[in-house]
Amino acid sequence: MQTKRMTFSSRWLPYALLAPQVLITLVFFIWPASQALWQSMLRQDPFGLRTTFVWFRNFERLFDNPLYLASMKTTAIFSVATTLLAMSLSLLFAVMVNRMLRSREWYTTFLVWPYAVAPAIAGVLWWFMFNTSVGIVPYMLQGFGYDWNHRLDGTDAMILVVLAAAWKQISYNFLFFLAGLQSIPQSLIEAAAIDGASRTKRFWTIVFPLLSPTTFFLMVVNVVYAMFDTFGVIHATTEGGPAQATNILVYNVFRDGFVNGNLGASAAQSVVLMGIVVVLTVVQFRWIERRVNY
């Protein structure tokens, strides 16, 4: 890793400059993370009197637990659905906005602001629209003969949280897709147009492949978002229900740790989640390397 060619020299100053950040990192990140590792191998008796070291037994239990496995499946469905929905809609919007000249700024402004809405608030907004007694959407769905009830029906609840989570993420994806589209050389597109390729054909054979670094980057970001940042969406609305139908992993850690007070299990789940984050980060970094060579 480089520095400037010419640097300052001081025995203590660089350490002093780094101290605040390193200190906070150690106290609030490294230490708790190592605590989670340690606790994930301990088990407390029901009265909290005795703690025993149980090696990987917490993990074995975790992966034998059908509820946890179900939560993994729920998380997978939720992340994939949210990512697909948010990305395809924002790609569509970005491609359309990219055609515009005068109205581009205007549309961008209108599509960008949901980024500012907290996930929990996004959840409440959609929760209200779909509310079974006063909500506008169930009322309309009733006209089509569909009886919406996310309090009883797991699928309805899942659709609700996916919509809320994806809605909030559209603006982020849109901005990156738009930036990606604008960096594609116009000459390529013109050349293809001269050869008689239609707009649709140009999109799938030139624009979409050239956009693939952005798409891949956004895919990782969206999966991370759906897995970790959507806690608020779930907690403020369905609280994991009905019957665990929207109980994603992050919510499960919270519930086992704070509501059920099962520290060992919660810590083991934290470790599993950290593993997932590390894998996703490594994927991300490899992508960056690839892009440099590209």
Partner 1 sequence: MVENDRFGSLLAHLILILGVAAVVFPVYVAVIASTHAPGTFLQGVMPLLPGSHAIENYRTVIFEGRAQAGAPPIGLMLWNSFVMAMMVAVGKIAISLLSAFAIVYFRFRFRIFFFWVIFLTLMLPVEVRIVPTYAVVANLGLLNSYAGLSIPLIASATATFLFRQFFMTVPEEMLEAARVDGAGPMKFFKDILLPLSITNIAAMFVIMFIYGWNQYLWPLLVTNDERYYTVVMGIQRMVTGADSEPLWHLVMATVVLAALPPILVILFMQRLFVKGLVETEK
Stretch that binds partner 1, among 9-17, 49-57, 152-160, 204-212 (CB under 8 A): 9-17
Give strand pairing partners of 51: 44
Least CB distance from residue 135 to partner 1, whole Å? 7
Q: Which of 72, 124, 141, 159 binds partner 1 (CB under 8 A)?
A: 124
Q: Both tokens of residue 177?
A: 């897709």
Q: Which of 119, 165, 207, 226 binds partner 1 (CB under 8 A)?
A: 119
Q: Is 27 in the site for partner 1 (CB under 8 A)?
A: yes
The answer to whether 160 touches 230, Cβ cutoff 8 Å, is no
Q: Is 32 in the site for partner 1 (CB under 8 A)?
A: yes
Q: Which of 57, 229, 241, 244 binds partner 1 (CB under 8 A)?
A: 229
* Separation between Cα atoms, residue 88 and residue 245, nearest integer Å: 25
Q: Binders of partner 1 among 161-200, rule CB under 8 A?
A: 167, 170, 172, 175-176, 179, 189-190, 193, 199
* Separation between Cα atoms, residue 77 and residue 132, nearest integer Å: 24
Q: Which lies closer to partner 1 via its Cβ, residue 40 or residue 158? A: 40
Q: Which of 42, 76, 117, 159 binds partner 1 (CB under 8 A)?
A: 117
Q: Is 31 in the site for partner 1 (CB under 8 A)?
A: yes
Signed CA dihedral, 140, 141, 147, 149: sign only: negative
* Separation between Cα atoms, residue 188 and residue 202, nearest integer Å: 9
Q: Which lies closer to partner 1 via its Cβ, residue 158 or residue 268? A: 268
Q: Which of 41, 86, 87, 221 binds partner 1 (CB under 8 A)?
A: 221
Least CB distance from residue 91 to partner 1, whole Å? 12
Q: Is 266 in the site for partner 1 (CB under 8 A)?
A: yes
Number of other CB atoms surrounding residue 46 within 10 Å: 6
* Separation between Cα atoms, residue 13 and residue 143, nearest integer Å: 70
Entry field: residues in the chain = 294
Q: Binders of partner 1 among 56-75, rule CB under 8 A?
A: none
Q: For the packed helices 66-99 and 154-182, what is the interaxial angle rounded to 10 degrees?
A: 40
Q: Is 84 in the site for partner 1 (CB under 8 A)?
A: no
Number of other CB atoms surrounding residue 192 within 10 Å: 17
DSSP H or E stretch at residue 42: strand 42-44
Least CB distance from residue 83 to partner 1, whole Å? 16
